[in-house]
Chains A and B, each alone.
Chain A
Amino acid sequence: MISNYIKLAWRILGRKKFFTFISLFGISFTLGILMVILSFLQSELGTDKPLTYKNDFVYLNTLSLKTDFFDTIVSIDTTFLNDEMVLDSSFEIKGTGSMNWNSELNNGIAEEYLSDLESAEEVSIFIPSSEHDVYVNGVKQTFSALYGDPSYWNIIDHQMLEGRVFDQKEMDAVAKVLVVSDKSAENYFGTKEGVLGKEMFIDGTNYKVIGMYAHTGKIMPYVSPDIVIPYTNANLDNQDSFYHGFFNVLYKKKKGVSADKLKEEIVYAATRIPMDHPSKPEGYEDIVFRPNTYDEDYAQAIYYEREASKSYSIMKWIIISLIAFFVILPTLNLINLNVSRIMDRSSEIGVRKAFGAHRGNIISQFIIENIVQTILGGLIGFGLALALINMINKGGYLMNARLELSPKFFMYSFLVTILFGILSGLLPAYKMSKLQIVNALKENKL
Chain B
Amino acid sequence: MIKHVLKLLWNKKASNALMILEIFLSFIVLFFVLSYVFFNLGKVNQPLGFETIDIWKIQLDGVEQRDSLEAVTTLQNLKTELLSMEEIEAVSFTESIVPFQNSQWRTGSADNGFQMTTLLVPVDEDLKKVMGLNITEGRWFNEDDLNSSMKPLIVNQEFIDRYYPNKSMVDSTFILNGDRKIIGVIDQYRYIGEFEENHPTVLSIAPYFQNMSAVLLKMKGNTPTAFEEKLSQRIANTTKSTGNVIVDLEKERIENSRESWVLIIALLAICGFLCLNVALGLFGVLWYNINKRKAEIGLRQALGANGFDITKQFILEILVLTGIAILIAIFFTIQIPLLKVTEYPNSLFYKSIGFSTLIILILVTICALFPSVQAAKITPANSLHED
Give the B-binding residues of A (Cβ under 8 A): 18-19, 22, 25-26, 29-30, 33, 130-133, 135, 138, 140, 142, 203-205, 235, 237-238, 325-326, 328-330, 332-337, 339-341, 343, 397-399
**B15–A29 CB distance below 8 A:** no
Judge whether B374 is part of the interface by a CB distance below 8 angstroms: no
**B62–A333 CB distance below 8 A:** no
- Given the complex of chains A and B, what is the CA–CA distance between A340 and B26 in angstroms? 20
Judge whether B358 is part of the interface by a CB distance below 8 angstroms: no
Judge whether B144 is part of the interface by a CB distance below 8 angstroms: no
**B285–A337 CB distance below 8 A:** yes
* Residue from B65, B244, B274, B280 within 8 A of A237 (CB atoms): B65
* Residue from B25, B226, B243 within 8 A of A328 (CB atoms): B25
* Residue from B246, B258, B270, B278 within 8 A of A140 (CB atoms): B246
**A238–B65 CB distance below 8 A:** yes
* Residue from B18, B244, B283 within 8 A of A133 (CB atoms): B244
Return A195 CB to nearest CB of chain B, in Å. Answer: 22
- Given the complex of chains A and B, what is the CA–CA distance between A333 and B229 in angstroms? 59
Can you list 27 residue pairs at the A/B interface with Cβ under 8 Å?
Answer: A18-B284, A26-B277, A26-B281, A29-B277, A33-B270, A131-B245, A132-B245, A133-B246, A140-B228, A237-B66, A238-B64, A238-B65, A325-B29, A328-B25, A329-B22, A329-B25, A329-B26, A329-B278, A332-B18, A332-B21, A332-B25, A333-B22, A335-B18, A336-B282, A339-B18, A340-B15, A397-B262
**A29–B280 CB distance below 8 A:** no
Return B318 CB to nearest CB of chain A, in Å. Answer: 13
Give the A-binding residues of B (Cβ under 8 A): 15, 18-19, 21-22, 25-26, 28-29, 61-62, 64-66, 225-226, 228-229, 232, 236, 241-246, 258-259, 262, 270, 273-274, 277-278, 280-285, 288-289, 292
- Given the complex of chains A and B, what is the CA–CA distance between A237 and B259 in angstroms? 34
**A138–B18 CB distance below 8 A:** no
**B229–A140 CB distance below 8 A:** yes
Q: A329-B278, A336-B15 are in contact. Are A135 and B232 (CB under 8 A)?
A: yes
Return A219 CB to nearest CB of chain B, in Å. Answer: 10
- Given the complex of chains A and B, what is the CA–CA distance between A419 and B22 in angstroms? 20
Return B244 CB to nearest CB of chain A, in Å. Answer: 7
The chain A residue sitting closest to B286, CB to CB, is: A340
- Given the complex of chains A and B, what is the CA–CA distance between A282 and B229 in angstroms? 42
In the complex, chain B residues whose CB is within 8 Å of the CB of A335: 18
**B243–A132 CB distance below 8 A:** yes
Q: A140-B229, A237-B65 are in contact. Are A337 and B284 (CB under 8 A)?
A: yes
Q: A133-B244, A330-B274, A333-B278 are in contact. Are A237 and B62 (CB under 8 A)?
A: yes
**A333–B288 CB distance below 8 A:** no
| Nearest 8 interchain pairs by C-beta | A204-B242, A333-B281, A332-B22, A340-B288, A26-B277, A135-B229, A238-B65, A22-B280
In the complex, chain A residues whose CB is within 8 Å of the CB of B66: 237
* Residue from B226, B229, B285 within 8 A of A340 (CB atoms): B285
In the complex, chain B residues whose CB is within 8 Å of the CB of A336: 15, 18-19, 22, 281-282, 285
**A333–B277 CB distance below 8 A:** yes
In the complex, chain B residues whose CB is within 8 Å of the CB of A33: 270, 273
**B274–A326 CB distance below 8 A:** yes
**A329–B65 CB distance below 8 A:** no
In the complex, chain B residues whose CB is within 8 Å of the CB of A237: 62, 65-66
In the complex, chain A residues whose CB is within 8 Å of the CB of B65: 237-238
- Given the complex of chains A and B, what is the CA–CA distance between A360 and B303 in angstroms? 45
- Given the complex of chains A and B, what is the CA–CA distance between A228 and B285 in angstroms? 60
**A339–B243 CB distance below 8 A:** no
Return B261 CB to nearest CB of chain A, in Å. Answer: 9
**A140–B274 CB distance below 8 A:** no
Return A144 CB to nearest CB of chain B, in Å. Answer: 11
- Given the complex of chains A and B, what is the CA–CA distance between A328 and B22 in angstroms? 9
Return B283 CB to nearest CB of chain A, in Å. Answer: 8
In the complex, chain A residues whose CB is within 8 Å of the CB of B246: 133, 140
In the complex, chain A residues whose CB is within 8 Å of the CB of B229: 135, 138, 140
Return A434 CB to nearest CB of chain B, in Å. Answer: 11
In the complex, besides A18-B284, A237-B66, A336-B15, 11 extra interface pairs with C-beta distance below 8 angstroms are A22-B284, A132-B245, A140-B229, A204-B236, A235-B243, A329-B29, A336-B281, A339-B15, A339-B18, A397-B258, A398-B262
In the complex, chain B residues whose CB is within 8 Å of the CB of A399: 259
Return B386 CB to nearest CB of chain A, in Å. Answer: 10
Kindly name the residue among A326, A332, A335, A341 whose own CB sees the greatest number of chain B CB atoms within 10 A: A332
Return A136 CB to nearest CB of chain B, in Å. Answer: 10
Return A402 CB to nearest CB of chain B, in Å. Answer: 15
- Given the complex of chains A and B, what is the CA–CA distance between A33 and B277 in angstroms? 13
- Given the complex of chains A and B, what is the CA–CA distance between A132 and B243 in angstroms? 6
Return A343 CB to nearest CB of chain B, in Å. Answer: 7
**B280–A203 CB distance below 8 A:** no
**A19–B284 CB distance below 8 A:** yes
* Residue from A22, A131, A142, A205 within 8 A of B281 (CB atoms): A22
**B228–A238 CB distance below 8 A:** no
In the complex, chain A residues whose CB is within 8 Å of the CB of B29: 325, 329
In the complex, chain A residues whose CB is within 8 Å of the CB of B292: 343
Return B68 CB to nearest CB of chain A, in Å. Answer: 13
* Residue from B61, B241, B280 within 8 A of A26 (CB atoms): B280
In the complex, chain B residues whose CB is within 8 Å of the CB of A340: 15, 284-285, 288-289
In the complex, chain A residues whose CB is within 8 Å of the CB of B258: 397
In the complex, chain A residues whose CB is within 8 Å of the CB of B232: 133, 135
In the complex, chain A residues whose CB is within 8 Å of the CB of B243: 130, 132, 203-204, 235
